Chains A and B, each alone.
Chain A
Amino acid sequence: GDPAITEMQPWRRNLGDPIDDALYGMPSPFEADVIRGRVEWLTPDAYTAINFTPLHELDGIITPNGLCFQRSHAGAAQVDPAKYRLMINGLVERPLVFTLQDLQRFPRENRTYFLECAANSGMEWRGVQMDGVQFTHGMIHNVEYTGVPLRSLLEEAGVKTAGKWLLAEGSDAAAMSRSIPLEKALDDCLVAFNMNGEALRPEQGYPVRLVVPGWEGNMWVKWLRRIEVGDKPWHHREETSKYSDLMADGRTRRFTWEMDAKSVITSPSPQAPVLHGKGPLVVSGLAWSGRGTIPQVDITLDGGINWVKARLSGPSFDKSLHRFYYEFDWDGRPLLLQSRAHDSTGYVQPTKEALRKLRGVNSNYHNNGIQTWHLQSDGRVENVEVS
């Protein structure tokens, strides 16, 4: 018999941990390898830096708060909520200051959105480089936010007719700043204070961050301290020097806000090899679009010769991650696995080659090309590109 059954295990013989051992609960010690990971050569130091969500270890559509990838430009600020202030100034009838309590007196909304860094998959623009979905696609997380519509705050201040743009600004040492068109602010932006039920984590902007659904993560200003209304964009560093897309002809697209439809198989993948051999195999993955929902995801096992529809499971929220599965009987032969997202606008996720043909290889940002994983007979998976 199986000693896991026939022999009494310590968790059966002994009492478990007392209830007071984990007043803020932590994952099982057996899950200690499920952590955010950093690529040290990518950024100059640990303050203007990024780490990556371990997508290969997760399922469903919600990213646990402690595993949401982190990007900051001057470290993660630790803001005292008692000294938190949000100012609205510029082209408004009444320049206002709100405390955190003031914000929480506006009618609240709960909405689930993905946040993807514009540079997600950027390391793959010139060719395959990263051996793991955590590093090829892990600059993304999906969270249920509680907050108040930015529209409510702007209405409270009264935007003047000349006001067409906002500057959102953080209170950290980088004072992160981005220009946002007023139309988007009035449409669906949130000023959020909770994520997945609890207060925002410091590295996600505690106590207040901006939520800019479907648009690149850099605009979701953390530690939000100020909204200025103006008549023109500001052309600040993070929307000129960075987060702009250099094309092959030497010209540069700016204000590339929306994240186009994209998908990736999270398992199997290089960090999640197939350890069980041939037979029933579950392919699990994520799809999303900054322009709507995902009605369909296709899967290929042969590098794109033939495609089948994957099965979507879980809620299909606007501008949120969608979970897909494809189950089949693996005969142990090498496979070239890909997924392809369709979004509600009719857009179909393109190949990397199609994007390179249009943009060249210097654009860095907004790489939503199809990812290929080579599943080998021994169950190992490698990052490849195919003809």
Chain B
Amino acid sequence: EPLGLGRVAEPDEIAAWDIDVRPDGTGLPAGSGSVAMGEEVFVEKCAACHGDFAEGAGRWPALGGGLDTLQDERPTRTVGSFWPYLSTAYDFINRAMTVGYGEPASDDEIYAIIAYILYSNDLVDDDFVLSRENFTSIRLPNEGGFYMDDRIQTEHPLFTRPACMKNCKDDVQIIARVETAFIPAEMNGGGTEQDHLAIGEALFGQCRACHQIGEGAQNGVGPVLNGIFDMPAGSNDGFGYSDAFAMMADKELVWDFDALDAFLKDPQGFIPGTTMTFTGIEEDFDRNALIAYLQAQGP
């Protein structure tokens, strides 16, 4: 017997919250977007974490590539290689990706982002336009790769046998121990030096759009970063610095660890007026890794 608690949900209330999308297309809004539009939106809204070409950055996931890697030692699970349904991309981008981490995207922009993700997975051509009308005609390669949990049939009969209690094996040897002490950063600095540099290199992916580093690096939107560690600020003669940066040079700022750390944490806060649009790296561990990588590059 109902208790008569609660009240009837109004249509506009249901519309405000009923955002879910299913594989059969239920829940998709009207709209459309092209690969070309998608590339623009993606670079603006998604690339900082997922890379310009959906290849991923740092520990943020790749969205493209990885086809036929699911049996590899290190599979690459992307929308193209792993996900069973495209509807999941619409649902998730709308639900979780364009709020919190970014500005809400329009329905057309979400269609366009997905068109670009499909293109980055070589699943559509560059003139493709995704819309509510053609959405369910797109099938992902791994749709048939999923099956219902079968542990009860395949595993449990093996593990419901009587357990051995005495003389269960002849001999016991230690065959593996913790070699790379992956204990938390506050206890050992967060893994080996090699891991640290690898993480730093991956994080540098976010900088590459504007900065070059290494052999043959040239100034671009931002200056070359070879030898940046311990270098006086604004001392790259071939680069046209912002007024804000030139002022820091006048103040004889040197890019030591503390300065790099403060700048990377909050670029606009540390050098108000810098033209570097990057919003900064909040995580201490990540900044440490990135600075270690910059330092390791040398002059």
A interface, CB within 8 angstroms of B: 37-41, 43-47, 73-75, 87-89, 94-99, 102, 105-106, 123, 127-132, 135, 155-158, 167, 169, 173-177, 225-226, 228, 230, 232, 234-237, 240-241, 244, 246, 248-258, 260, 298, 302-308, 336, 340, 342, 345-350, 354, 358, 361-362, 374, 382-387
Contacts and interface: CB of A to CB of B under 8 A. Distances in A.
Contact of A250 (B70, B191, B195): B70
Interface in B170-190: 171-178, 180-186, 190
A234 B22 contact: yes
Given A155-B2, A383-B178, A37 B95 contact: no
Interface residues of B, number: 85
A213 to B, nearest CB: 17
Contacts of B8: 94-97
Given A40-B283, A173-B99, A130 B159 contact: no
B183 A131 contact: yes
Interface string B131-149: 0000000000010011111
Interface centre among A45, A47, A87, A303 (most CB of B within 10 A): A45
A156 B3 contact: yes
Contacts of A45: 282-283, 286
20 contacts: A40-B185, A40-B285, A89-B9, A97-B7, A106-B3, A131-B182, A175-B95, A177-B91, A236-B92, A241-B82, A246-B77, A251-B146, A252-B70, A253-B150, A254-B149, A305-B168, A306-B166, A345-B160, A382-B177, A383-B177
A89 B169 contact: no
B167 interface: yes
A174 B95 CA distance: 6
A269 to B, nearest CB: 12
Contact of A87 (B13, B95, B180, B191): B13
Contacts of B126: none
Interface in B39-77: 49, 58-60, 70-71, 73, 75, 77
A386 B71 CA distance: 26
A384 B172 CA distance: 12
Nearest to B289: A41
Contacts of B18: 89, 226, 228
A232 B145 CA distance: 19
B9 A87 contact: yes
B264 to A, nearest CB: 14
B195 A41 contact: yes
Interface centre among B7, B9, B95 (most CB of A within 10 A): B9
A43 B59 contact: yes
Task: Kindly list the 6 A-B residue pairs having the minimum CB-CB distance in the complex, ordered from nearest.
Answer: A173-B100, A303-B172, A250-B70, A95-B9, A237-B92, A250-B71
B147 A87 contact: no
Contacts of A41: 59, 182, 185, 190-191, 195, 199, 285
A252 B147 CA distance: 6
Contact of B164 (A307, A342, A386): A307
A374 B173 CA distance: 11
A224 to B, nearest CB: 12
Chief secondary structure at chain A's binding surface: loop
A130 B92 CA distance: 31
B30 interface: no
A386 B145 contact: no
A346 B160 contact: yes
A305 B167 contact: yes
Contacts of B182: 39, 41, 123, 129-131
Contacts of A302: 172
A41 B187 CA distance: 13
B165 A307 contact: yes
Given A97-B6, A97-B9, A241-B88, A306 B146 contact: no
A129 B147 contact: no
Contacts of A89: 9, 14, 17-18
B96 A73 contact: yes
Interface centre among B5, B154, B191 (most CB of A within 10 A): B5
